[in-house]
């Protein structure tokens, strides 16, 4: 399929081909769901920690003798049934991250790109950079090609100046073509892809020798 390439002024300049193996697939919703949940799990910080009765501060002595008082049997003050005692089966620091098969992750990303292309949410823009690295210069460009909605820019490489300029825009996320993020890409209302980034996506996620699409 072909897509119009826009200048940074928002004018049509030419067209570029989108590989059907990347942007024209039948959307696999299951792979998208697994990819997004995998990314959210990998971001999760499992630092919650509680103390059990062996870790809380307190004496090990019984508060009163076992028999003869007429009261219930009572262990030490660190018992979980007492205020200030230990916690039973409470959370401990853990790692929630797990690996997802590479082929499944590739399928998920291509499914998202195909979904965005089908919904006309992908806009191809000629290559540009922000020489000053200032946010206001990037905002001027974005006003011509996108509104102030949840937007993702797909870069052709790790351009530090564009990343610096985009860091202060709350509704904008930047991604390199070879390090796409399923969560941000799926929930974006608009995807701006640089022209070279589109060509790189065609090569990187397209039909490759020895790699299943």
Asked whether the predicted pLDDT for residue 8 surpasses 80, the reply is yes
Give the predicted TM-score (pTM) of the model.
0.82
Laid out side by side, the sheet with 12-17 consists of 12-17, 2-6, 122-125, 190-194, 151-155, 172-176
Query: Left if phi > 0, otherwise alpha if psi is -120 to 50, otherwise beta: which for 44?
Result: beta
Query: Strands 122-125 and 2-6, how do they pair?
Result: parallel
Boundaries of every domain in the chain: 2-28+100-205, 45-95
69-112 pLDDT per residue, tens: 999 988 899 999 999 999 999 999 999 999 999 999 999 999 99
Chain segment 14-69, per-residue pLDDT in tens: 889 899 999 999 999 999 999 999 999 999 999 999 999 999 998 889 989 999 99
Indicate the CATH number of 2-28+100-205 among 3.30.365.10, 3.40.1370.10, 3.40.50.720, 3.40.50.2300.
3.40.1370.10
Tell which residue, 60, 133, 78, 106, has the closest CA to residue 211.
106
Confidence of residue 158 (pLDDT cuts 50, 70, 90): confident
- Longest distance between any two alpha carbons in the chain, whole Å: 95
pLDDT at 170 over 50: yes
Model pLDDT, residue 208: 53
pLDDT tens sequence across 185-212? 999 999 999 999 999 999 998 865 334 4
Of 122, 105, 100, nearest in space to 18 by CA:
122
| Backbone torsions φ then ψ of 159, nearest 5 degrees | -80, 105
């Amino acid at each position: 399929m072909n897509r119009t390439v826009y200048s940074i002024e928002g004018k049509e300049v030419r067209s570029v081909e989108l590989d059907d193996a990347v942007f024209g697939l039948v959307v696999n919703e299951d792979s998208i769901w697994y990819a997004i949940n995998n990314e959210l799990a990998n971001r999760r910080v499992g630092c919650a920690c509680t103390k059990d009765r062996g870790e809380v501060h307190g004496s090990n002595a019984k508060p009163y003798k076992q028999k003869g008082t007429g009261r219930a049997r009572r262990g030490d003050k660190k018992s979980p049934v007492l205020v200030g005692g230990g916690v039973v089966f409470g959370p401990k620091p853990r790692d929630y991250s797990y690996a997802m098969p590479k082929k499944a992750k590739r399928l998920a990303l291509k499914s998202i790109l195909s979904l965005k292309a089908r919904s006309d949410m992908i806009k191809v823009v000629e290559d540009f950079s922000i020489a000053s690295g200032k946010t206001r210069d990037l905002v001027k460009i974005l006003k011509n090609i996108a509104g102030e909605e949840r937007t993702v820019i797909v870069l052709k490489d790790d351009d530090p100046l564009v990343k610096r300029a985009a860091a202060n825009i709350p509704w904008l996320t930047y991604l390199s073509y070879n390090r796409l993020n399923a969560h941000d890409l799926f929930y974006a209302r608009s995807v701006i892809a640089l022209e070279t980034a589109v060509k790189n996506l065609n090569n990187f996620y397209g039909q490759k020798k020895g790699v299943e699409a």
